[in-house]
Chains A and B, each alone.
Chain A
Amino acid sequence: MNNALPCEKLLIGVSGSIHCSQIGGYLAQIRREFAVSIRVIMTRTACDMVNPKTVELHTDSPVIADIWGTPQSKSPHITATRWADLFVVLPASANILGKAAHGIADDVLSTAILASRGPIAFAPAMNPSMWESAAVQRNLQTLKEDGHYIIPPQEITSVTTGDYDSGLGPTPESLMPHLWHVLMKHTKDVYWEEATRTLPMTPAERARQNLPLLAIADKQQASA
């Protein structure tokens, strides 16, 4: 077993796709396999679709649903985005994709997206007719060009107006490898310069330059 999960601090933005009714399952899996600490921002529509109290069962702090934040997290669009190692919008409605692509900041989630310094992973979920619309496709393209990451939706069954309909969205299996990839790539980018500043040196190369061995203690152990 590995002692540490890869992501220390994960910020999740939940928007008003009906897929947010699955958020409890995602949060449980993410806590088990991926992130140590999770904060959640919800749009007003998302709060109508799923009770924030249910979401809070899986998080360490109250859901942020207002631009004024909570006593623990004031001006959350700044504090929460600075806190996070990774920011994912799950699920991402067509509306939030459009706002993010155009820099609109008219509620707490869209403002946090605009205020975020790192790349954001969007997990779109919507009806195929919305997904295939020229506007959504255009917005997806803009987001990619802006350096964000789109988690390609799978065909799923979603509940809309009480009828079962075919929908597009993430699944727990499809989501996790993408989250890993986005986190690891971002981590690599941030650490790269420091990690590659010096070249590695084998013991023979160190000896040629009269440098001490790196692992002197270990050498003593071997000869013991």
Chain B
Amino acid sequence: MSDRKNDSNYVPSRFLSLSHDEDGSLILYCARTGAVGVVADGDVDAARSALLPGTVTEGPLGGILADLEQGGFLVSEGVDESALAHEDYIQRYTDKSLELIVMPTEQCNFRCVYCYEAFLRGEMAQDIRDGVKRYVESQSGLEQLTLSWFGGEPLLAGDVVAEITEYCQSYAERTGAAFLCAATTNGYELTPEYAERILPLGLTNFQISLDGVEHDHDERRVGANGEKTFARIVENLRYLHESDHDFEVAIRHNFDPGNLPRVSEFYEMLKSEFGGDDRFVTELQPIGRWGGQNDADLSVCEGRPMLRSLIEAKKLALDAGFRDAHGIDMLRPSGATCYAANPRSFVIGSDGKVYKCTVELDYHDRNIVGQLHGDGTMDLDWRKMALWTETNGMDAGKKCVTCYFSPTCHGAICPKEWMDEDEAECPKSKHTIGDTLKLIRAESLFVKPAGVP
């Protein structure tokens, strides 16, 4: 368009990251397009010199340089890449997608040592369930509907989950919208009977925490009456593994200095149970002091050592044959933004209260952004909504304005942190970009995720 000064000259993208792999090849990442590319040894010198900051390459391009242009690593001189990234990001204000994160109950059958929830409210009443369905029904032109079950422990309200999931799946079928349904569950109630009931209704994605080998897990993820939980969860997972169903289970490992020494034993255990089943993927999260009762007693991993441990543990998971649940997705345009920053994402409490952040819940009035009614209408306070959808990161002088990773993150990795701290911590994938790219490359060699060039 008119803001192109000269179409025949090319310069390196300002959203570029480079990493050298052990075999001499160059791994490239362009945060604006989300492209990850590998330049083989023979082409590395040509690619590197064209990608050196300040280099201008005359077109027309051929060979490796043409490939670089295709991935967005080289751009026409004069193209305003920041404007393109911004234009892309504000599309979240259009109403083509909707994400509902629903708490069918706030009760839980676990008392994990790091939990911050208060278990205040019970099962969602029928009028709010009807409200959720009617709210979905009132949408027009929806291209993507995402329904995420959250709690408390959502499967304690298994009937509510089944009723609304079934409704949303049929809505999506009727209207042609793509449908994705996921649950963050402790896995205890994902029994064979319930799995047989819920999978055909469209709930096929699960995030289930196993905090290490059996005794590590049982020390951290404790039943509400003090009981052990590991054996039953693994038994439920075994049933899924042996079934023919189409699903994805992300096994989340919450780590701390206590269970970290046995992380390799943990992945060996996972490998022996579920290895080679690509329906099982893994994710890792350092345990934090999230505002629960035991915060003062928790020992946590922090800073650089935590990032190192994270990468090491990811390597072990990969060696055991498990894909990272988020790996390449976190590098896609807007891939590292929190759902709270999405104006079309709402957390629906079991009493119909509408929140943005699943950590802040009703611990601050600013997060109670509205109320869903039984007739399917939603009252929203746009003043509060604005706090979550527009962070301070992109304000003049703030760190995100000049950040090479910003099309992935837009300063919206955690809107809450921008409110509580001077600035939000950058995503771990940015801090560890070199290793992250190597892991993504390694992963693409045994299974190629969609979109990897």
Given contacts A188-B390, A202-B292, A204-B116, contact A4 B90 (CB under 8 A): no
| Interface residues in B, total, Cβ within 8 A | 50
- B385's contact among A168, A184, A204, A214, by CB below 8 Å, is which? A184
- A222's contact among B122, B363, B379, by CB below 8 Å, is which? B122
A residues 129-155 in Cβ contact with B at 8 Å: 131-132, 152, 155
Cα distance, A132 to B351, chains bound together (Å): 55
**Across-interface contacts of B1 in A (CB, < 8 A):** 155
Cα distance, A160 to B63, chains bound together (Å): 45
Given contacts A178-B90, A188-B387, contact A218 B121 (CB under 8 A): yes
Cα distance, A82 to B168, chains bound together (Å): 44
B residues 79-129 in Cβ contact with A at 8 Å: 83, 87, 90-94, 106-107, 116, 118-122
B115 to chain A, nearest CB (A): 9
Instruction: Decide yes or no whether A200 CB sits under 8 A from chain B.
Output: yes
| Interface residues in A, total, Cβ within 8 A | 42
Q: Is B383 within 8 A of A2, CB to CB?
A: no
Given contacts A4-B382, A178-B90, A200-B364, contact A192 B387 (CB under 8 A): yes
A residues 1-16 in Cβ contact with B at 8 Å: 1-4, 6
B71 to chain A, nearest CB (A): 24
Q: Is A222 within 8 A of B377, CB to CB?
A: no
B residues 354-390 in Cβ contact with A at 8 Å: 360, 362-364, 366-367, 376-380, 382-387, 389-390
Cα distance, A196 to B366, chains bound together (Å): 9
Q: Is A195 within 8 A of B366, CB to CB?
A: yes
Q: Is B383 within 8 A of A191, CB to CB?
A: yes
**Across-interface contacts of B135 in A (CB, < 8 A):** 1
Q: Is B116 within 8 A of A1, CB to CB?
A: no
A/B pair count, beta carbons within 8 Å? 119
B148 to chain A, nearest CB (A): 20
A residues 168-224 in Cβ contact with B at 8 Å: 168, 173, 176-178, 180-181, 183-185, 187-188, 191-192, 195-196, 198-205, 207, 213-215, 218-219, 221-222
Cα distance, A214 to B364, chains bound together (Å): 9
Instruction: Decide yes or no whether B295 CB sits under 8 A from chain A.
Output: yes
Instruction: Decide yes or no whether A103 CB sits under 8 A from chain B.
Output: no
The chain B residue sitting closest to A191, CB to CB, is B383
The chain B residue sitting closest to A8, CB to CB, is B382
Q: Is B94 within 8 A of A221, CB to CB?
A: no
Cα distance, A6 to B369, chains bound together (Å): 13
A35 to chain B, nearest CB (A): 11
Given contacts A132-B2, A168-B2, A184-B343, contact A222 B106 (CB under 8 A): yes
**Across-interface contacts of A184 in B (CB, < 8 A):** 93, 343, 382, 385-386, 389-390
A154 to chain B, nearest CB (A): 8
A166 to chain B, nearest CB (A): 11
**Across-interface contacts of A128 in B (CB, < 8 A):** 2
Q: Is B87 within 8 A of A3, CB to CB?
A: no
A137 to chain B, nearest CB (A): 9
Instruction: Decide yes or no whether B138 CB sits under 8 A from chain A.
Output: yes
Given contacts A152-B83, A181-B90, contact A195 B118 (CB under 8 A): no
**Across-interface contacts of A213 in B (CB, < 8 A):** 118
The chain A residue sitting closest to B346, CB to CB, is A2
Instruction: Name the residue in A128, A187, A200 with the highest tally of chain B Cβ atoms < 10 Å from its Cβ.
Output: A200
**Across-interface contacts of A221 in B (CB, < 8 A):** 121-122, 351
The chain B residue sitting closest to A185, CB to CB, is B390
Instruction: Decide yes or no whether B291 CB sits under 8 A from chain A.
Output: yes
Interface string of B319-351 (1 = CB under 8 A from A): 000000000000000000000000100000001
Cα distance, A201 to B290, chains bound together (Å): 10
Cα distance, A195 to B292, chains bound together (Å): 23
The chain A residue sitting closest to B392, CB to CB, is A192
A residues 48-96 in Cβ contact with B at 8 Å: none
Q: Is A200 within 8 A of B420, CB to CB?
A: yes
Cα distance, A68 to B8, chains bound together (Å): 53
**Across-interface contacts of B2 in A (CB, < 8 A):** 128, 131-132, 168
- B292's contact among A176, A188, A204, A219, by CB below 8 Å, is which? A204
Q: Is A3 within 8 A of B377, CB to CB?
A: yes
Interface string of B394-432 (1 = CB under 8 A from A): 000000000000000000000010011000000000000
Q: Is A200 within 8 A of B351, CB to CB?
A: no
Instruction: Decide yes or no whether B293 CB sits under 8 A from chain A.
Output: yes
- A1's contact among B3, B138, B292, B420, by CB below 8 Å, is which? B138
Q: Is B351 within 8 A of A218, CB to CB?
A: yes
Q: Is B378 within 8 A of A2, CB to CB?
A: yes
Given contacts A132-B2, A202-B292, A221-B351, contact A180 B90 (CB under 8 A): yes
Q: Is B386 within 8 A of A188, CB to CB?
A: yes
B residues 223-262 in Cβ contact with A at 8 Å: none
Cα distance, A4 to B91, chains bound together (Å): 20
8 contacts between A and B (CB under 8 A): A1-B135, A2-B377, A152-B3, A180-B343, A184-B390, A204-B291, A218-B121, A218-B362
- Listed from nearest, the 7 A-B pairs whose CB atoms lie closest are A202-B291, A200-B364, A180-B93, A187-B386, A203-B118, A188-B386, A177-B90
Given contacts A200-B420, A202-B290, 4 further A-B contacts (CB under 8 A): A1-B378, A184-B382, A191-B384, A222-B122
